[in-house]
Amino acid sequence: MRARDLVGSVPSVRPGVPLLEAVAALVAAGTSGVAVIDESGVPRAVLPGSALVGLAVPSYVKDDPSLAAVLADADPRVLRARIARLTVADVLSDDEADPLPLISAEASLLEVATAMAEARVGIVLAVDEHGHYVGGITATDLLATLQQ
Amino acid sequence: MKTALAIGAFALVYVLLVSERVERLVAAAVGAAVVLLFGVVGVHDAFFSEGTGVDWSVLVLLFSMMVIVGGLRRTGVLDVVALWSVRRSGGSAYGVLVLLSTVTAVSAIFLSDVTVIVLLAPVTLLVCDRLALAPVPFLIAQALAANIGGSASLVGDPAVIIVGSRAHLTFTDVLVHQLPVSFVVFVVFLALARFLLLPAIRRSGTDDGSHVAAADVGDLEPLAAIRDRRMLVGGVVVVALVIVGFLTQGLTGLAPSVVALLGAGLMWLVVREGRQELLDHVEWETLAFLAALFVVVGALVKVGAIDHLATEVGDLIGGNPTVAVLGTLTGSAVVSALVDNIPYVATMSPVVADLTASNPALNPGNALWYALAMGAVLGGNATAIGASTNIVVVGIARRHGHPIGFWTFTKYGVVVALSSLVVAVPMFWFRYLT
């Protein structure tokens, strides 16, 4: 079994789309992150769901988490408004330091498992010999295969 | 040759600091490396001499206070106090500004100005968010208030810590002599803020669209900021014991650095989980910067340059305590407005020590020391780079998407610093020189 046999469950978006589109894709797929693929089909990043949630948290609460409890009536509309004006590209620069979890589409199951164990978000992206995106694999995809 | 090297290294450090081309630690470390490498000072001079070396009591006091504040941060107590105060204001912009500034200034007396800003700036941002007010005027007010509060006590600002250590002042000495001046300066600042900052709040207080439901502050729940009641009790008791320790130095003979170190140890015991976080909040860069600076200034002392400077200054003053005290107060304010007050005070402390030793009449009631400390801290308010607090608040504001330009800060800071001098000069004259 090769990496390309496992791909399919990870949603992907272009950098220019509104962030809410990425949120919708993520919610619909039920994965832990969304792949960001540029116009030429090359993966740019994996945007974790936790990072998207983090964007809705006011910066001052990130500095002082005690304040989260103070805002007992936090309105989902207010949290949504914080990310409504952003595009996927707006939030990519913060993640540039993280190496992309890329593997060859022809990688073996053990190679996929090794890359997955090191991936921060539990998602690895399979690419072809030209570096073009073939599809994403989640830890759940991999575990389901191992369970069979 | 050694004299030239010591002066050259010192000048190099100052040029690098003023140019802001390198981090301040790098600037001071280069100077320290030069004087150590070429044998201007030796190991004994640099590390074991009170006159020419690292002032360990300053470093231990600063380190310990950082650990204590790191523990206090866990309690959420300052959040509670600040938010509770803001709720009393009923949401009026000036009321919020006065109460946040007051909580900041009072906290800075016991916890140091820079750390208080780091702890309270998130609360300010939250309140401004809730009231749909631009936070910049509030953050500037908070920085100015922190410096004024910090000028009142021995642990309020690193500049005062350095002066206190060199002059062997107790916590109570500094409080009794500096708090009255700081208090009047603060009252004047609050009055000025109504005319200076309130119009800026009104101009910038517009909803930028992110406030879908700009609520008031009445429905905030301050007590919810407390996540761990055991930690709250333990943390507050440790801070209370440290303050009692500071205030009773005359009885116990325990130096502030020792009291703070014991307090830091207690805080370490109180915090059971995640103790590493206490050390994460220690500003190691500031401590290393100070250590290197002490070595550079110590080299000037060793080669006799400070002695020479003190003689020259003494001749200039001509034995007149009024000129000495008021000149130090205003001169320190001016210099500290332009450069970081820590290197200035580190350099001037041995000069003042020489002056007072050779001519005690110039220092009635230790006035020269208090003038140096107060001038340096209050003058630091004048510009965005005058005090560490200002630099920190500008950095916090930028990180949260509310950049504060140099001149935006300075146009308010200069007025507040000048008003501080207008208050402090007659108070010093009346108390020490009549």
Alpha carbons within 13 A on the beta-carbon side of B108: 32
Residue B131 has pLDDT above 50, yes or no: yes
Which residue, chain included where needed, has tokens 């500096």? Answer: B178
Residue B197 has pLDDT above 50, yes or no: yes
Alpha carbons within 13 A on the beta-carbon side of B95: 12
SS3 B208: coil
* Closest chain B residue to A57, measured at CA: B126
pLDDT tens track for B96-109: 899 999 999 999 99
Q: Please, is B418 exposed, middle or buried when counting C-beta atoms within 10 Å of its C-beta (0-12, 13-18, 19+)?
A: middle
B208: confidence class by pLDDT, cuts 50, 70, 90 = very low
The pLDDT of B229-251, averaged and rounded, is: 92
Which of B210, B226, B227 is opposite residue A82, by nearest beta carbon? B210
Which of A60, A63, A73 is opposite residue B219, by nearest beta carbon? A73
* Cβ <8 Å between B123 and A64: yes
* Cβ <8 Å between B211 and A59: no
Question: Residue A128: its pLDDT value, please?
Answer: 93
Q: What sign does the CA torsion over A10, A11, A14, A15 have?
A: negative
* Cβ <8 Å between A59 and B399: yes
Question: Residue B49: its pLDDT value, please?
Answer: 87
User: Which chain B residues have a beta carbon less than 8 Å from that of A77?
Assistant: 212-213
Question: Residue B307: its pLDDT value, please?
Answer: 84
Residue B169 has pLDDT above 90, yes or no: yes
Which residue, chain included where needed, has tokens 């608040």? Answer: B393
Q: How many CB pairs under 8 A join A and B?
A: 64
Chain A interface test: which of B212, B232, B399 (most A C-beta within 10 Å): B212
Question: Residue B243: its pLDDT value, please?
Answer: 94
Question: Residue B120: its pLDDT value, please?
Answer: 92
Tell me the pLDDT of chain B averaged across its residues: 89
> A-contacting residues of B 102-141, CB under 8 Å?
119, 121-123, 125-126, 129
A69 in contact with B, Cβ within 8 Å: yes
- Distance CA(B79)–CA(B225), nearest Å, equals 7
Question: Residue B316: its pLDDT value, please?
Answer: 85
Which of B212, B222, B401 is opposite residue A78, by nearest beta carbon? B212
* Cβ <8 Å between B126 and A75: no
User: Which chain A residues have a beta carbon less than 8 Å from that of B123?
Assistant: 60, 64, 67
Residue A108 DSSP code: B
A77 in contact with B, Cβ within 8 Å: yes
The pLDDT of A87-98, averaged and rounded, is: 71
The pLDDT of B29-51, averaged and rounded, is: 91
Q: How far apart are the first and last CA of chain A?
A: 13
Question: Residue A98: its pLDDT value, please?
Answer: 65
Minimal C-alpha gap between B73 and chain A (Å): 9
Question: Residue B214: its pLDDT value, please?
Answer: 43
Question: Residue B225: its pLDDT value, please?
Answer: 83
The pLDDT of A10-14, averaged and rounded, is: 92
Residue B301 has pLDDT above 90, yes or no: no
A60 in contact with B, Cβ within 8 Å: yes
SS3 A123: strand
* Cβ <8 Å between A58 and B76: no
Q: Are residues B162 and B372 in contact, defined by beta-carbon separation less than 8 angstroms?
A: no
B340 in contact with A, Cβ within 8 Å: no
B29: confidence class by pLDDT, cuts 50, 70, 90 = very high
Number of neighbours of residue B8 by Cβ within 10 angstroms: 15
Minimal C-alpha gap between A59 and chain B (Å): 6
Length in residues, chain A: 148
Question: Residue B240: its pLDDT value, please?
Answer: 95
Provide the phi-psi class of B68: left if phi over 0, else alpha when psi is between -120 and 50, else beta.
Answer: alpha
Question: Residue B211: its pLDDT value, please?
Answer: 40
B64, B5, B69, B74: which is closest to B34 by C-alpha?
B5
Q: Please enumerate in sequence order all residues whose Cβ is within 8 A of that of B210, keeping only pairs 6 or more positions apart, or say none.
A: A81, A82
Question: Residue B159: its pLDDT value, please?
Answer: 92
The pLDDT of A63-76, averaged and rounded, is: 78
A110 in contact with B, Cβ within 8 Å: no
| A123 strand-pairing partners | A138
B330: confidence class by pLDDT, cuts 50, 70, 90 = very high
Question: Residue B74: its pLDDT value, please?
Answer: 85
User: Which chain B residues have a beta carbon less than 8 Å from that of A66?
Assistant: 76, 79, 225-227
A67 in contact with B, Cβ within 8 Å: yes
Q: Please enumerate in sequence order all residues whose Cβ is within 8 A of that of B108, keeping only pairs 6 or more positions apart, or say none.
A: B116, B145, B146, B147, B148, B149, B150, B152, B156, B157
B215 in contact with A, Cβ within 8 Å: yes
The pLDDT of B322-342, averaged and rounded, is: 90
The CA-atom distances, in angstroms, between B257 and each of B45, B50, B108, B246, B263 are 21, 15, 17, 9, 10
pLDDT tens track for B245-268: 999 988 999 999 999 999 999 999
Spell out where chain A has E strands: 12-13, 33-37, 43-48, 102-104, 123-127, 133-138
Question: Residue B205: its pLDDT value, please?
Answer: 53
C-alpha angle B368/B355/B342, rounded to 5°? 60
B149: confidence class by pLDDT, cuts 50, 70, 90 = very high
User: Which chain A residues have a beta carbon less than 8 Å from that of B396?
Assistant: 63
* Cβ <8 Å between A61 and B213: no
The pLDDT of B277-281, averaged and rounded, is: 85
Question: Residue B14: its pLDDT value, please?
Answer: 85
Residue B226 has pLDDT above 60, yes or no: yes
The pLDDT of B233-249, averaged and rounded, is: 93
Q: Which long-range contacts (CB under 8 A, 24 or more apart) does A62-65 make?
A: A63/B121, A63/B122, A63/B396, A64/B79, A64/B119, A64/B122, A64/B123
Residue B380 DSSP code: G
Which residue, chain included where needed, has tokens 């780091």? Answer: B118
- Distance CA(B297)–CA(B7), nearest Å, equals 9
Which one has a higher pLDDT value, A94 or B82? B82
Minimal C-alpha gap between A30 and chain B (Å): 28
Q: Please enumerate in sequence order all residues whose Cβ is within 8 A of that of B147, keeping only pairs 6 or more positions apart, or say none.
A: B108, B113, B157, B377, B378, B380, B381, B387, B389, B390
Question: Residue B212: its pLDDT value, please?
Answer: 37
Q: Which range, A53-62, A85-94, B118-127, has the best average confidence (pLDDT)?
A: B118-127
Question: Residue B198: its pLDDT value, please?
Answer: 81
B377: confidence class by pLDDT, cuts 50, 70, 90 = very high
The pLDDT of B307-325, averaged and rounded, is: 87
Q: Please enumerate in sequence order all residues whose Cβ is within 8 A of that of B295, keeping only pairs 6 or more positions apart, or say none.
A: B31, B32, B35, B36, B41, B46, B53, B54
Phi, psi for residue A9 in degrees, rounded to 5: -90, -15
* Cβ <8 Å between B224 and A63: no
